[in-house]
C-alpha cells in the first residue's frame, strides 16, 4: 500500500507496561511517501508488524489535525520533531530525507509514567486543572454574554494562553521536567479575564500546589518549553503566574480558602 | 411499536416552557441517592456530566481518550450559532428555527428544533461566564460571522478553534465537579455494552484500555454522548478513535437507530493524496465567507492545471467558473454544505477537477487579499492557512486552496424522543449520537450548539422526570443481568483475539470505507446500494474468518480495540445502505440520483417520506425492522429548498 520512495531506519522505544523495563528496537520503514504524516508512516510500519503477528508500536493519537493534544512523540531528541509550532500528527515525512535514521521516544518525565511503548500517562495535567482551573459558576443563572465587556487586546491575549492543547511537550522539552508553561497558561487565561477575578488568588495557589505534588520540576527560565510548544505559548505566562503567586502568598492570604468548594 | 416523540402540544414558543413545568422534579435531598452514567466527554457529555453533578446527582463519566479534554468536539473550527441578534440584522429565535428546519430539508421535528433555537442564547451566556475567550470587537463586545445556509451573522467563534475553547469550558465545569467529588471520571475506558433489567437501562460494561479489565457499572440512567459514526467511511474528518460501538451496542440491546443514511459530506476539506492517508482534514466553512469557489470553464484548462503546466493564478478571469455564485446568486458561496458538496462533485464528474488527482476544486482568496490585505486575512484564518500549508506544502496566500468534500458529520443516530430518551427507558442519547435536530442535513456551526443545548439545558430537566418516576432505590449490582452481559462481552473479545488470519483489521476498514464512499456517499442509486449490501455482507463474513488480531486482553492492545470497532462498523454499514435504499427520495445529505429536479437539485417526496426511519435490531444477520415516526409540520410550510 505504500507508494513512496523513502527508506528509513527507526529506533523506537518499546516498553510493555509501566512496570517492565524498556529498550530501543530498530525497524525499517520502507517505501514511505514524503506526503505521509509521521503517524501515517508509523501506521505503515505497524501494518507490517501485525501481518507478521507482532505487536504494533503503541502511540497516542486521535484527531490527527493538531488540536486534541494526544500525540506525543519525542523525535530525534525533540518533542513533536524538528519543525516549529506543530504537533507530531502535522509533521510530514518531507521533513526527513531518504536513508535517515529517526529516533522515537516517549515524553520523558517522572510525572508522566510510560503506559506502553510511546504512550505516557498525563493525568497529572487533569488533576492540576481539577484543583482550580475553572470559574465556579453553575449552569444557568449567568448574565447575558454582552454584559461582560472585555477589551479586545485583553481578550486576544487571554486567547493566546487558551490555545494550549495540553500535550505536555513543554514538560518533555524541559531539562527539569517542569510543567510551568502549561500551568501558567491555564492560570493566565482566567487571571486576565474579568470572569476569573473572584477566585484569582486561591486558584493560583491551588494549581501551583497540585503541580508541585505531582512531581514536576522547577523552572530555570531556559525557554525550551516555549521553543517546542506546538501552540507557541509564551514564557510571559510564567511571569504572570509567578507574579500572581507571590502576590497571593504575600499580600492576599486573607482571601485564600480551599479553591472551589462552595456549593454543590 | 408506537414511536411517541412526546412533543408537547400548543404554540411553538410555549412548548418547552410548558413541558418544563409539567416534568416531575427530584427533591434536592434525594438527588444524591441517584447515580447517572455519562459515556463520552465531548460537548454533550462534559456539559451533561457537569450540569447533573451541580444539581446533586452522582455522576460516573467515561471516555476512551487519556483525558476528557481530547474528545473530538475539540476539533470543531468555525463556530457556534445562537439567535442573539447582537448584529441587529434581523435574526431571531424563529429565524434560527426556520433556517435549521429548512437547512435540514424538512426532515427534523419542529418542536425539537424550536427548543434548540431557544436555548442557543443561554449557551453563549454560559460559555462566556466560564471564561471561554470568544472573538470580540474593539468595543469589548462579542463578534459574529456568517455561515453557510444563513443570511444573518449569528455565529460566535474563537479564531479557528471554537470547538477546543467550548470544550475546555465544559471540561473546566466537569473538573470542578470531579474536584468536589460529584463526578467520578474514568479515562482510557471504553464502553462495550449496556445492561438492561426488565427492559430498563441500569448500567454498562466497560473495558480498561490500559489493563484490559472488564468491569460493570450500575446507574439509574445511562447517557450516551458518544458522537457520530462518520468513520464507517474510513476516511473522514473524525478522529482516529471516533467509533459507533457504544451506540451500536445500545442498538443491539433494543434502542432504535434512526435515519442512519443521513450523512454530511463537508464541502471544504483537503483532498486525498494517496492510499496511506488515515484521515481527511477539514478547512472551516467560515473560509467560504471570503474564499471564492471555482473550477476551470473547460476540460482543456483543467488538464493543464492537473499536469502542472498552468498555475491556478495564471488562469484568466473569463476562463474561471465560479459555479456557486453563478448557480445560486443570492447565497453564492454560502449555500448549505450538501449543495456545495454536490456541486463540487459535479465539476469533477464533468472532468473539470483540478490538482494532481483531478479530484478537487479551488477555494480562492486572491480577491479577499486584494480587498482586505494579507494581514487581515491572516488574522481571520491564519491558523487554517498554516494547517493547509503544513499538510500540502502549498502556500494558500499565493495559490488557491484545493478542496474536495469529505465525510464530516452524521445526522442519523439513536432515536430519541423530546426528552432525549431512547425507546429503552433509562437510556438517553445526546449530541451527535442522537438523530434529533438536524433532519437530513446539518447547518454549519450547529453541531456545537446542539451538543451543548442537550447537555447544559435539556437533559438536566428531562432526566429528573424519569428519575423521579423510578425512585431512588439503589440498582442491584448483583443482579444476574450484569454478570451475563459481562460474559457476553468477554466471549466477544475472546472471539476477536482468536482471529489469526491474513488481513489486517485496518485493511477491512479501508475496504468498507471504499464501498460506503462509492455507493452510499454523495450520490446513491438503487443499483449501487443493492450491490453495496452484498459487498458489505461478504466483507463482514470474511472479516470473521481472515482478520488478524494480535496480543492479549490483559494489556494495552490497540489491535483489539480497533477490531471491535471495525466489527461494529461492518454491521452499521449495511443498515445505512438499507436505510438509503428504503428512502427513495433525495433530501439534504441523502441524494438519490433517481430523485432530482430538472436542475439537478435534491427532490424530496413529501407525500411518501415525511417520516423518521427508525430501525429495530432483530438478531445477527436478520433484516432489521423499520418503524416510522411521522413528521408533522404545523408551523412551517414544506417547500422545495431554494438558495438561488
Instruction: Say which CATH number the domain at B371 has.
Output: 3.90.700.10
d(CA B420, nearest CA chain A) in Å: 19
Q: Report yes or no: B355 and B271 within 8 Å, Cβ to Cβ.
A: yes
* Gap from B143 CA to chain A (nearest CA, Å): 10
Tell me: do A57 and A162 sit in the same domain. no
Domain shared by A109 and A67, yes or no: yes
Specify the DSSP element, H or E, that contains B222: strand B221-224
Q: Look at residue A264 and tell me if it is in a domain.
A: no
Looking at residue B381, what is its pLDDT?
87
Asked whether the beta carbons of residue A260 and residue B86 sit closer than 8 angstroms, the reply is: no
Residue pair B335/B324 in contact by the 8 Å Cβ criterion: yes
User: Judged by CB atoms within 8 Å, which residues 523-552 of B form the interface with A?
Assistant: 548, 550-551
Asked if A155 and B136 come within 8 Å (Cβ–Cβ), the reply is: yes
Last residue of a domain, one of B407, B426, B450: B407
Nearest residue, CB atoms, B133 vs list A4, A162, A165: A162
Quick check: is B361 in a domain? yes
Q: What is the pLDDT of residue A45?
A: 98
| B30 assigned to some structural domain | no
Q: Looking at residue A116, what DSSP letter applies?
A: E
Task: Indicate if B383 and B498 belong to the same structural domain.
Answer: no
Domain extent for B490: 480-609
Count of CB atoms within 10 A of residue B27's CB? 10
Secondary structure class of B208 (helix, strand, coil): strand
Pair type for strands B401-410 and B263-269: antiparallel
The mean predicted confidence, pLDDT, of chain A is 94
User: pLDDT grade, residue A262 (50/70/90)?
Assistant: very low
State whether A66 and B387 contact (CB < 8 Å): yes
> What distance in Å separates the CA atoms of residue B628 and residue B380, rounded to the nearest whole number?
45
A155 in the same domain as A111: no
- Look at chain A and count its residues: 264
pLDDT score of B641: 79
Spatial distance between the Cα atoms of B94 and B457, rounded to a whole number of angstroms: 18
Chain A interface, mutation test: which of B70, B162, B502, most A Cβ atoms within 10 Å?
Answer: B70
Set of chain B residues whose Cβ sits within 8 Å of the Cβ of A33: 273-274, 276
Nearest-by-Cβ selection for B276 from A36, A129, A130: A36
Per-residue model confidence (pLDDT) at position A1: 43
Question: Is A1 contained in some domain?
Answer: no
Reported residue count of chain B is 644
Cα end-to-end span (Å), chain A: 55
| Residue A112 grid coordinates | 508522566
Contact state of A115 with B210 under an 8 Å Cβ cutoff: yes
Residues in chain B within 8 Å Cβ distance of A183: none
- Is B329 part of a structural domain of the chain? yes
Asked whether residue A258 carries a pLDDT value surpassing 70, the answer given is no
Residue for cell digits 438536524?
A: B438
CB pairs under 8 A between A and B: 237
Beta-carbon contacts of residue B22 (< 8 Å; ≥ 6 apart): B8
Residue A81 lies in a domain: yes
Determine, yes or no, domain membership for A220: yes
Q: Which residues contact B17 (CB under 8 A, 6 or more apart)?
A: none
Which residue from B minimizes the CA distance to A65?
Answer: B281
Asked, for residue B358, whether it belongs to a domain, the answer is: yes
One domain for residues A130 and A57: no
Residues 100-129 of B with CB under 8 A from A: 122, 124-129
- As a whole number of angstroms, the distance between CA B293 and CA B289 comes to 11
| Same domain (yes/no): A95, A215 | no
Question: Do A99 and A199 lie in a common domain?
Answer: no
**CA A122, CA B188: separation in Å to the nearest integer?**
11
Question: A134 and A211 share a domain?
Answer: yes
Cβ separation of B239 and A44 shorter than 8 Å?
no
Domain match, A135 and A251 both: yes
Q: What is the DSSP string of B465-523?
A: HHHHHH-SPPP-TT-HHHHHHHHHHHHHHHHHHT-B-SEEHHHHHHHHHHHHHHHSSSS
pLDDT tens digits, residue range A82-127?
999 999 999 999 999 999 999 999 999 999 999 999 999 999 999 9
Helix axes B459-470, B43-55, angle to 10 degrees: 60
- Cβ-defined contact of A53 to B70 (cutoff 8 Å): no
Flag whether A244 is in a domain: yes
Final residue of a structural domain among A88, A116, A144: A116
Do residue B302 and residue B396 come from a single domain? yes
- Spatial separation of the C-alpha atoms in residues A83 and A230, rounded to whole Å: 9
Residue A252 has pLDDT above 80, yes or no: no
A65 and A138 fall within a common domain: no
Distance, CA of A100 to CA of A76 (rounded, Å): 11
Question: What is the chain B residue with the closest CA to A92?
Answer: B391
Question: Is residue A85 domain-shared with residue A182, that is, in the same domain?
Answer: no
A-proximal residues of B, 485-524, CB under 8 Å: 500, 502, 504, 506-507
Instruction: Examine residue B72 and state whether it is found in any structural domain, yes or no.
Output: no
Out of A39, A70, A259, name the one closest to residue B65 (CB).
Answer: A70
Q: Which of A1, A139, A148, A192 to mutate to test the interface with B (most CBs of B within 10 A)?
A: A139
Query: Facing residues of B574 across strands?
Result: none
Contacts of B141 in chain A (CB under 8 A): 146, 149
Asked if residue A77 is part of any domain, the answer here is: yes
Q: How many domains does chain B have?
A: 2
Statement to judge: residues A147 and A202 lie in one domain: yes
CA distances from B376 to B235, B337, B380, B493, B525 (A): 33, 26, 6, 54, 45
pLDDT at residue number A253: 63
Q: Are residues B396 and B524 in the same domain?
A: no
Same domain, A233 and A162: yes
Cβ–Cβ under 8 Å, residues B253 and B193: yes
- The answer to whether B550 touches B222, Cβ cutoff 8 Å, is no
Please state whether beta strands B320-321 and B401-410 pair in parallel, antiparallel, or not at all (unpaired).
unpaired
| Domain final position from A116, A145, A179 | A116
Q: Which residue of A has its CA nearest to B48?
A: A139
pLDDT at A227: 98
Residue A74 is assigned to a structural domain of this protein: yes
Q: Which domain range does residue A212 map to?
A: 123-255
Give me the residues paired with residue B22 across strands.
none
> Among residues B433, B438, B393, which one has the least CA distance to residue B416?
B433
Q: Which of residues 17-46 of B touch A (CB under 8 A)?
A: none
**Whole-angstrom distance, CA of residue A77 vs CA of residue B31:** 52
Within a domain: residue B244? no
The per-residue pLDDT for A2 is 47
Residue B141: the pLDDT is 98
Task: Please count the structural domains in chain A.
Answer: 2
Interface of B with A in 382-411 (CB under 8 A): 386-387, 390-391, 393
pLDDT value for A255: 53
CA distance A162 to A189: 6
Q: Which residues of A touch B386 (CB under 8 A)?
A: 85
- Beta-carbon separation of A135 and B131 below 8 A: yes
Distances in Å between the Cα of A239 and the Cα atoms of A84, A185, A235, B142 are 23, 10, 7, 29
Cβ contact A121–B66 (<8 Å):
yes
Scored b (16 or more CB within 10 A) or e, B198-209 reads: eebbbbbbbbbb
Residue B179 has its nearest CB partner, among A54, A123, A131, at A131
Name the residue among A47, A92, A123 with its Cβ closest to that of B504.
A47
Grid-cell match 455494552, residue found:
B193
For B559, nearest residue in chain A (alpha carbons): A56
The phi and psi torsions of B600 (rounded to 5 degrees) equal: 85, 20
C-alpha cell at B622: 436478520
Domain CATH number, residue A205: 1.10.1060.10
Q: Any idea what the CATH number is for the domain that residue A50 is in?
A: 3.10.20.30
- Cα–Cα distances in angstroms (integers) from residue B322 to residues A43, B133, B342, B401, in the given order: 39, 36, 15, 14
Query: Minimal Cα–Cα distance from A102 to chain B, Å?
Result: 20
Hey, are the CB atoms on A195 and B131 less than 8 Å from each other?
yes
Tell me the average confidence (pLDDT) per consecutive run of 10 residues in chain B, 644 residues long: 94 98 96 98 98 98 98 95 97 97 96 98 98 97 88 93 97 98 98 98 98 98 98 97 98 98 96 90 91 97 96 96 96 91 94 94 97 92 90 94 96 98 98 97 95 98 98 97 98 98 98 97 96 98 98 97 98 98 97 92 95 97 96 93 81
Q: Is A178 helix (H, G, I), strand (E, B) or coil?
A: strand
Q: What is the pLDDT of residues A31-83, one digit of tens each?
A: 999 999 999 999 999 999 999 999 999 999 999 999 999 999 999 999 999 99
Predicted complex ipTM: 0.96
pTM: 0.97
Q: Is A251 in a helix, a strand, or coil?
A: helix
Q: Which of B370, B385, B407 is the last residue of a domain?
A: B407
**Residue A168 C-alpha, separation from nearest chain B C-alpha, in angstroms:** 12
Domain end call among A116, A136, A159: A116
Please indicate whether, in this complex, the C-beta atoms of B276 and A162 are within 8 angstroms of each other.
no
Cell of A144: 447575558
The residues, ordered by sequence, that sit 6+ positions from B507 with a Cβ below 8 Å of its Cβ are A47
Three-state SS for B74-104 is HHCCCCEECCCCCCCCCCCHHHHHHHHHHHC
Amino acid at each position: 500500500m505504500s507508494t513512496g520512495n523513502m527508506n528509513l531506519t527507526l529506533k523506537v522505544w518499546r516498553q510493555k507496561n509501566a512496570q517492565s523495563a524498556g529498550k530501543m528496537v530498530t525497524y525499517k520503514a520502507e517505501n514511505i511517501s514524503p506526503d505521509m504524516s509521521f503517524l501515517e508512516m508509523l501506521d505503515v510500519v505497524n501494518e507490517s508488524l501485525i501481518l507478521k503477528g507482532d505487536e504494533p508500536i503503541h502511540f497516542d493519537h486521535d484527531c490527527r489535525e493538531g488540536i486534541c493534544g494526544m500525540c506525543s512523540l519525542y523525535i530525534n531528541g525533540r518533542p513533536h520533531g524538528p519543525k516549529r509550532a506543530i504537533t507530531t500528527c502535522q509533521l510530514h515525512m518531507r521533513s526527513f530525507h531518504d536513508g535517515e535514521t529517526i529516533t522515537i521516544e516517549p515524553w520523558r518525565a517522572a510525572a508522566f509514567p510510560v503506559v506502553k511503548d510511546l504512550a505516557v500517562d498525563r493525568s497529572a495535567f487533569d488533576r492540576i486543572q481539577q484543583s482550580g482551573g475553572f470559574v465556579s459558576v453553575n449552569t444557568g443563572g449567568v448574565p447575558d454574554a454582552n454584559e461582560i465587556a472585555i477589551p479586545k487586546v485583553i481578550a486576544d491575549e487571554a486567547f493566546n494562553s487558551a490555545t494550549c492543547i495540553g500535550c505536555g511537550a513543554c514538560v518533555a522539552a524541559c531539562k527539569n521536567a517542569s510543567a510551568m508553561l502549561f500551568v501558567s497558561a491555564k492560570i493566565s487565561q482566567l487571571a486576565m479575564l474579568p470572569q476569573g477575578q473572584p477566585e484569582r488568588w486561591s486558584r493560583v495557589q491551588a494549581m501551583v500546589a497540585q503541580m508541585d505534588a505531582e512531581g514536576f520540576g522547577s523552572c530555570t527560565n531556559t525557554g525550551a518549553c516555549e521553543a517546542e510548544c506546538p501552540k507557541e505559548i509564551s514564557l510571559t505566562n510564567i511571569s504572570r503566574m509567578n507574579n500572581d503567586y507571590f502576590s497571593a502568598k504575600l499580600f492576599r492570604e486573607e482571601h485564600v480558602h480551599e479553591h472551589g468548594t462552595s456549593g454543590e | 411499536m408506537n414511536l411517541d416523540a412526546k412533543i408537547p402540544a400548543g404554540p411553538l414558543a410555549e412548548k418547552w416552557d410548558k413541558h418544563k413545568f409539567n416534568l416531575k422534579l427530584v427533591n434536592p435531598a434525594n438527588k444524591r441517592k441517584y447515580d447517572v452514567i455519562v459515556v463520552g466527554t465531548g460537548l454533550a457529555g462534559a456539559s451533561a456530566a457537569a450540569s447533573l453533578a451541580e444539581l446533586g446527582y452522582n455522576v460516573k463519566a467515561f471516555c476512551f481518550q487519556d483525558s476528557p479534554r481530547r474528545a473530538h468536539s475539540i476539533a470543531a473550527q468555525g463556530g457556534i450559532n445562537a439567535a442573539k441578534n447582537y448584529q441587529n440584522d434581523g435574526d431571531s429565535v424563529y429565524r434560527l428555527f426556520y433556517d435549521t428546519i429548512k437547512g435540514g430539508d424538512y426532515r427534523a421535528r419542529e418542536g425539537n428544533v424550536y427548543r434548540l433555537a431557544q436555548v442557543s442564547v443561554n449557551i453563549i451566556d454560559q460559555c462566556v461566564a466560564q471564561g471561554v475567550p470568544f472573538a470580540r470587537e474593539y468595543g469589548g463586545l462579542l463578534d459574529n460571522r456568517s455561515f453557510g445556509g444563513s443570511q444573518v451573522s449569528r455565529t460566535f467563534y474563537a479564531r479557528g478553534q471554537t470547538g477546543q475553547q467550548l470544550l475546555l469550558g465544559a471540561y473546566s465545569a466537569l473538573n470542578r465537579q470531579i474536584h468536589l467529588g460529584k463526578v467520578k471520571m474514568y479515562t482510557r475506558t471504553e464502553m462495550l455494552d449496556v445492561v438492561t433489567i426488565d427492559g430498563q437501562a441500569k448500567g454498562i460494561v466497560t473495558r480498561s484500555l490500559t489493563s484490559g479489565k472488564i468491569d460493570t457499572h450500575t446507574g439509574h440512567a445511562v447517557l450516551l454522548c458518544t458522537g457520530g459514526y462518520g468513520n464507517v467511511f474510513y476516511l473522514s474528518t473524525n478522529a482516529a478513535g471516533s467509533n459507533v460501538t457504544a451506540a451500536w451496542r445500545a442498538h443491539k440491546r433494543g434502542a432504535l437507530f434512526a435515519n442512519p443514511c443521513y450523512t454530511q459530506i463537508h464541502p471544504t476539506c483537503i483532498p486525498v493524496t494517496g492510499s496511506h492517508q488515515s484521515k481527511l482534514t477539514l478547512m472551516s466553512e467560515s473560509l467560504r465567507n471570503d474564499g471564492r469557489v471555482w473550477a476551470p470553464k473547460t476540460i482543456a484548462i483543467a488538464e493543464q492545471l492537473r499536469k502542472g503546466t498552468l498555475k491556478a493564478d495564471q488562469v484568466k478571469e473569463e476562463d474561471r467558473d465560479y459555479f456557486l455564485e453563478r448557480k445560486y446568486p443570492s447565497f453564492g458561496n454560502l449555500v448549505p454544505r450538501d449543495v456545495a458538496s454536490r456541486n463540487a462533485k459535479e465539476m469533477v464528474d464533468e472532468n473539470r477537477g483540478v490538482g494532481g488527482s483531478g479530484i478537487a476544486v479551488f477555494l480562492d482568496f486572491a480577491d479577499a487579499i486584494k480587498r482586505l490585505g494579507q494581514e487581515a486575512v491572516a488574522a481571520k484564518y491564519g491558523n487554517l492557512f498554516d494547517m493547509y500549508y503544513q499538510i500540502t506544502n502549498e502556500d494558500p496566500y499565493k495559490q488557491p486552496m484545493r478542496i474536495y468534500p469529505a465525510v464530516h458529520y452524521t445526522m442519523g443516530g439513536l432515536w430519541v424522543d423530546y426528552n432525549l430518551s431512547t425507546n429503552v427507558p433509562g437510556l438517553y442519547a445526546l449530541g451527535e449520537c442522537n438523530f434529533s435536530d438536524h433532519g437530513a442535513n446539518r447547518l454549519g456551526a450547529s453541531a456545537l450548539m446542539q451538543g451543548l443545548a442537550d447537555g447544559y439545558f435539556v437533559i438536566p430537566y428531562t432526566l429528573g422526570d424519569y428519575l423521579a418516576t423510578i425512585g431512588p432505590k439503589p440498582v442491584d449490582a448483583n443482579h444476574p443481568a450484569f454478570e451475563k452481559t459481562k460474559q457476553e462481552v468477554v466471549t466477544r473479545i475472546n472471539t476477536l483475539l482468536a482471529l489469526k488470519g491474513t488481513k489486517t483489521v485496518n485493511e477491512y476498514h479501508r475496504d468498507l470505507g471504499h464501498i460506503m464512499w462509492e455507493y452510499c456517499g454523495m450520490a446513491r442509486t438503487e443499483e449501487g446500494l443493492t450491490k453495496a449490501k452484498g459487498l458489505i455482507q461478504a466483507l463482514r463474513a470474511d472479516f470473521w474468518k481472515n482478520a488478524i488480531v494480535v496480543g492479549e486482553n490483559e494489556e494495552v492492545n490497540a489491535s483489539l480495540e480497533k477490531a471491535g470497532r471495525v466489527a461494529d462498523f461492518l454491521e452499521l454499514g449495511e443498515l445505512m445502505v438499507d436505510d438509503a435504499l428504503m428512502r427513495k427520495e433525495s433530501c439534504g445529505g441523502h441524494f438519490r440520483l433517481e430523485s432530482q429536479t430538472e436542475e439537478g437539485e435534491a427532490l424530496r417526496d413529501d407525500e411518501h417520506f415525511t417520516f423518521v426511519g427508525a430501525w429495530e435490531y432483530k438478531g445477527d444477520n436478520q433484516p432489521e425492522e423499520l418503524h416510522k415516526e411521522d413528521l408533522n409540520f404545523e408551523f412551517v410550510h414544506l417547500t422545495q429548498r431554494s438558495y438561488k
